[in-house]
């Protein structure tokens, strides 16, 4: 992150705007809306910018910039078409410790102006860190068209009732949950429809009925994070992840997904690799109960789907015994996600009429499977966690009747930008990967559908 987004209160602060043309005018409009007193310095100043400076209780100095113009200012904006002047003014402002913006040259300044969606008091800023202002403006236009103008009225209504709610509920966590539940209810539609008085009555009644004990009751969310690509999260998964006070996440959950959690949430890594566990499974189960009994909303974030080789059933078992509320959010399991991104349909009328998911790593560390039922040529077999046992899997399938030229694919870090698909046959893939550095997580797909990968592979 090259720039830290902040909201800066400028009411009454003195801003120096160097430049008097169209570019300076755009910055002057924003500064004026934010309540800053603007001093404009330039040999020529356009009429609208001149009026803005006067209206802001600032000044217009029709002359060349001088170092003395920086005195008493809180921020500086260099908005001339003279790049040398902009650079010189920025350097002198920096010597005085003043934050400075150089239009169209963010590398010379300390801050940049984002594109803004204004639903005051709600403001949304969009920045490309100076890389592409056009892209930021395009994103703003998309948000402008999807956010009703009355969102600001909703924020004003909530602000008026913050103190009454605080008087009713002294627990900050309970108040946060109250607002989250309220925003998921009919109050929002009342405000957006212009029915302010009805919305106010509804909010008063909700505060009167608010129950701190019920709001503070702990709950566990068992959430499937999918195979890696953050775009494959479900809406419900994202909503509960951002609602959680505590997030327990494992090794298969990508950083891009973990970063979507609330900034103030407690993040607990409980990842497991082969024979190397950050926490044993029993400890994870107990930890979920521990946090929930403290009244916290706990998100157990698991790669793929929690009920497909994700030990979700083991974790929920203790939660049920303890009488703790819980929800289960399915995720896109690795088989369907990685196969889709690898261009390998798991079923196809010309290749496979069924698909079977099996684990290549048993609880006792062996690869003991019902091999004789895994050799049908009309069925695709997907092995989870089978990298270490790849050679044994191939040998056993051939020993029980699968042909040596049966196509097989090994997919590493599927659905991410680091995805790698290695294809071969049962009799040669183990030799292909021998000695190669293969990164987990991996998935193995066996069946003639793998032969479609060269034609259907779309994700690079």
Same domain membership, residue 318 and residue 341:
no
Distance of alpha carbon 288 from alpha carbon 294, whole angstroms: 10
Same domain membership, residue 326 and residue 314:
yes
Residue 143, in any domain of the structure: no
- Of 121, 119, 88, the C-alpha closest to 105 is 88
The residues with which 249 forms a beta bridge, in sequence order, are 269, 301
> What is the CATH classification number for the domain harbouring 29?
3.40.50.720
- Of 252, 270, 281, the C-alpha closest to 385 is 252
> What is the CATH classification number for the domain harbouring 452?
3.30.950.10
pLDDT of residue 360: 78
- Cβ(32)–Cβ(56) under 8 Å? yes
H/E stretch holding 432 reads helix 429-433
Distance of alpha carbon 117 from alpha carbon 162, whole angstroms: 24
pLDDT of residue 205: 95
| pLDDT per residue as tens digits for the range 370-428 | 999 999 999 999 999 899 999 999 999 999 999 999 999 999 999 999 999 999 999 99
Residue 142, in any domain of the structure: no
Sheet arrangement for strand 219-224: 266-269, 246-249, 297-302, 219-224, 325-329
Known binding residues: 22-23, 43-44, 227, 303-305, 308, 333-334, 385, 414
Same domain membership, residue 188 and residue 237:
no
Structure token digits, residue 261? 């959690």
DSSP string of 346-389?
Answer: S-BTTTBSEEEEEESS-TTS-----GGGS--TTEEEEEES-STT
Structural domain that includes position 321: 219-332
Same domain membership, residue 439 and residue 348:
yes
Please list the helix, strand and coil fractions of the chain in percent, rounded to the nearest 5, in that order.
40, 20, 40
Residue 131, in any domain of the structure: no
Same domain membership, residue 311 and residue 369:
no
* pTM, entire model: 0.74
Last residue of a domain, one of 301, 332, 363: 332
DSSP class of residue 113?
P
pLDDT of residue 449: 98
Distance of alpha carbon 442 from alpha carbon 124, whole angstroms: 39
Distance of alpha carbon 170 from alpha carbon 366, whole angstroms: 54
- Of 3, 263, 6, 260, the C-alpha closest to 125 is 6
- Cβ(165)–Cβ(172) under 8 Å? no
> What is the CATH classification number for the domain harbouring 250?
3.40.1010.10
pLDDT of residue 276: 56
| pLDDT per residue as tens digits for the range 35-61 | 999 999 999 999 999 999 999 999 999
Same domain membership, residue 264 and residue 368:
no
Last residue of a domain, one of 63, 94, 113: 113
Residue with tokens 């029709």: 62
Residue 120, in any domain of the structure: no
Residue 309, in any domain of the structure: yes
Interacting residues of 185 by C-beta distance below 8 A, sequence separation 6+: none
Same domain membership, residue 392 and residue 328:
no
Last residue of a domain, one of 212, 231, 252: 212
Distance of alpha carbon 322 from alpha carbon 301, whole angstroms: 20
Same domain membership, residue 404 and residue 354:
yes
Interacting residues of 402 by C-beta distance below 8 A, sequence separation 6+: 374, 375, 377, 426, 446
Same domain membership, residue 443 and residue 364:
yes
Same domain membership, residue 444 and residue 339:
yes
Number of domain units in the chain: 4
Residue 144, in any domain of the structure: no
Catalytic center residues: 250, 272
Residue 140, in any domain of the structure: no
Q: For the chain, which residues score pLDDT lower than 70? A: 272-278, 361-366
DSSP string of 321-352?
Answer: HTT-EEEEE----HHHHHHHHTT--S-BTTTB
Residue 313, in any domain of the structure: yes
Same domain membership, residue 376 and residue 327:
no
Same domain membership, residue 279 and residue 196:
no
Known binding residues for NAD(+): 22-23, 43-44
């Amino acid at each position: 992150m090259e720039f830290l987004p902040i909201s800066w209160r400028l009411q009454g602060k003195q801003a120096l705007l160097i430049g008097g043309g169209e570019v300076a005018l755009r910055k002057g409009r924003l500064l004026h809306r934010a309540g800053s007193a603007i001093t404009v310095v330039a040999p020529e100043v356009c009429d609208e910018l001149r009026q803005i400076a006067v209206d802001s209780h600032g000044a217009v100095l029709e002359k060349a910039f001088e170092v003395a113009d920086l005195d008493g200012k809180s921020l500086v904006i260099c908005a001339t078409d003279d790049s040398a002047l902009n650079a010189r003014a920025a350097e002198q402002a920096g010597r005085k410790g003043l934050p400075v913006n150089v239009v169209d040259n963010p590398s010379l300044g300390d801050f940049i102006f984002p594109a803004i969606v204004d639903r005051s008091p709600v403001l949304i800023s969009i920045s490309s860190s100076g890389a592409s202002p056009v892209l930021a403006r395009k994103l703003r236009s998309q948000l402008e068209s999807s956010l009703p103008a009355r969102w600001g009225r909703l924020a004003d209504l909530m602000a008026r009732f913050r103190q009454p709610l605080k008087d009713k509920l002294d627990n900050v966590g309970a108040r946060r949950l109250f607002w989250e539940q309220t925003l998921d209810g009919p109050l929002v539609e009342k405000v957006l429809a212009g029915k302010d008085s009805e919305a106010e009555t509804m909010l008063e009644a909700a505060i009167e009925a608010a129950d701190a004990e019920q709001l503070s009751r702990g709950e566990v969310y068992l959430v499937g994070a999918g195979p890696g690509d953050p775009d494959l999260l479900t809406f419900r998964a994202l909503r509960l992840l951002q609602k959680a006070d505590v997030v327990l996440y494992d090794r298969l959950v990508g950083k891009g997904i973990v970063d979507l959690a609330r900034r103030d949430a407690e993040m607990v890594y409980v990842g497991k690799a082969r024979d190397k566990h950050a926490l044993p499974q029993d400890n994870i189960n107990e930890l979920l109960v521990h946090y929930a009994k403290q009244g916290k909303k706990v998100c157990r974030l698991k790669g793929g789907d929690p009920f497909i080789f994700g030990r979700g059933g083991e974790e929920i078992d203790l939660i049920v015994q303890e009488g703790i509320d819980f929800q289960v959010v399915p995720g896109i399991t690795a088989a369907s996600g990685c196969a889709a991104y690898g261009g390998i349909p798991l079923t196809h009328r010309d290749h496979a009429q069924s698909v079977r998911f099996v684990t290549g790593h048993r609880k006792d560390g062996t690869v003991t499977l019902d091999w004789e039922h895994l050799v049908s040529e009309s069925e695709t077999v997907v092995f989870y966690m089978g990298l270490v046992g790849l050679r044994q899997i191939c040998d056993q399938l051939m020993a029980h009747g699968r042909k040596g030229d049966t196509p097989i694919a090994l997919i590493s870090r599927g659905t991410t930008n680091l995805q790698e698909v290695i294809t071969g046959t049962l009799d040669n893939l183990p030799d292909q990967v021998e000695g190669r550095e293969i990164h987990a997580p991996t998935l193995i797909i066996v069946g003639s559908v793998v032969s479609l990968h060269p034609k259907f592979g779309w994700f690079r």
